[in-house]
Structure 1
Amino acid sequence: MTTRALILGCAGRTLSDEEAAFFRDAQPWGFILFKRNIGSPDEVRALTDALRATTGRADTPILIDQEGGRVQRMGPPHWPSYPAGARFGRLDGSGIAMARLGARLMAYDLASVGINVDCAPVLDVPVAGAHDIIGDRAYGTDPHAVIALGRAVAEGLMEGGVLPVIKHIPGHGRAACDSHMDLPVVEAEGVSLAAHDFVPFRALADLPMAMSAHVVYAALDPHHPATQSSVVIGQVIRGLIGFDGLLMTDDLSMKALDGTFREKAEKAFAAGIDVALHCNGDRQEMQAVLEGTPILSGEALRRAEAALARLAPQEEFDVAEARSRFEAGLSAQA
Structure 2
Amino acid sequence: MPSTIASAIHAPLIIDIAGTSLSKVDKQRLQHPLVGGLILFARNWENRAQLTALCQSIKKLRPDLLICVDHEGGRVQRFKTDGFTHLPPMRALGEMWLAEPAGTASSKKAGPLDATQAASACGYVLGAELRACGVDMSFTPVLDLDYGSSGVIGDRSFGRDPRVVSLLAKSLMHGLLQSGMANCGKHFPGHGFVAADSHTEIPVDQRSLKAILADDAAPYRWLGSVTSSVMPAHVIYPKVDKRPAGFSSKWLGDILRGQLGFTGAIFSDDLSMEGARRLDGQVVSYTQAAVAALQAGCDLVLLCNQSVGKGEPVDELIAGLTEALLKNEWHASETSEERRRALLPSKPAVGWDALMVQPAYMQALDWVL
Q: TM-score, normalised by structure 2?
A: 0.82
Q: Is the 8 A contact 1:105 1:322 kept in 2?
A: no
Partner of 1:21: 28
Partner of 2:89: 84
Question: 1:51-200 alignment to 2 at 5 Å?
Answer: 51-54=58-61, 56=62, 58-91=63-96, 92-93=110-111, 94-128=114-148, 130-200=149-219
Q: Which one-letter code corresponds to 1:90 in the other structure? A: E
Partner of 1:312: 347
Q: Tell me, which stretches of 5 or more residues in structure 2 are unaligned?
A: 1-6, 97-109, 278-283, 326-330
Structure (1/2) with the larger strand percentage: 1
**Structure 1 residues 319 and 200: CA distance shift in structure 2, 3 A:** farther
Shift of 1:326: 4.9
Shift of 1:296: 4.6
Q: Which one-letter code corresponds to 2:203 in the other structure? A: P
Q: Which one-letter code corresponds to 2:291 in the other structure? A: E
Deviates more, 1:282-291 or 1:155-164: 282-291
**Structure 1 residues 60 and 116: CA distance shift in structure 2, 3 A:** same
**1:256 aligned counterpart, secondary structure:** helix
**2:268 aligned counterpart, secondary structure:** strand
Please give the alpha-carbon distance, in whole angstroms, between the structure 2 residues aligned to 1:69 and 1:296. Answer: 37
Partner of 1:269: 294
**1:89 aligned counterpart, secondary structure:** helix
Shift of 1:306: 3.8
Partner of 1:234: 253
Q: Is the 8 A contact 2:68 2:135 kept in 1?
A: yes
- Deviations, residues 178-225 of structure 1 (Å, cap 9, x unaligned): 11101111011111101101111111112221111111112110x200
Deviates more, 1:32-41 or 1:311-320: 311-320
Q: Tell me, which stretches of 5 or more residues in structure 1 are unaligned?
A: none
Q: Is the 8 A contact 2:16 2:306 kept in 1?
A: yes
Please give the alpha-carbon distance, in whole angstroms, between the structure 1 residues aligned to 2:341 and 2:285. Answer: 30
- Deviations, residues 76-100 of structure 1 (Å, cap 9, x unaligned): 2431211000101111221110110
Please give the alpha-carbon distance, in whole angstroms, between the structure 1 residues aligned to 2:27 and 2:269. Answer: 24
Q: Which one-letter code corresponds to 2:146 in the other structure? A: P
- Give the length in aligned residue pairs: 326
Q: 1:292 aligns with which of 321, 345, 356?
A: 321
**1:175 aligned counterpart, secondary structure:** coil
Please give the alpha-carbon distance, in whole angstroms, between the structure 2 residues aligned to 1:34 and 1:250. Answer: 15
Q: TM-score, normalised by structure 1?
A: 0.91
Shift of 1:302: 3.1
Shift of 1:158: 1.4
**1:216 aligned counterpart, secondary structure:** coil
Please give the alpha-carbon distance, in whole angstroms, between the structure 2 residues aligned to 1:145 and 1:247. Answer: 24
Q: Is the 8 A contact 1:88 1:139 kept in 2?
A: yes
Q: Which aligned runs of 4 or more in structure 1 are off by greater than 3 angstroms?
A: 293-296, 305-308, 310-331
Q: Is the 8 A contact 1:4 1:28 kept in 2?
A: yes
Please give the alpha-carbon distance, in whole angstroms, between the structure 1 residues aligned to 2:361 and 2:341. Answer: 33
**Structure 1 residues 192 and 261: CA distance shift in structure 2, 3 A:** same
State the structure with more CA Rg.
Answer: 2
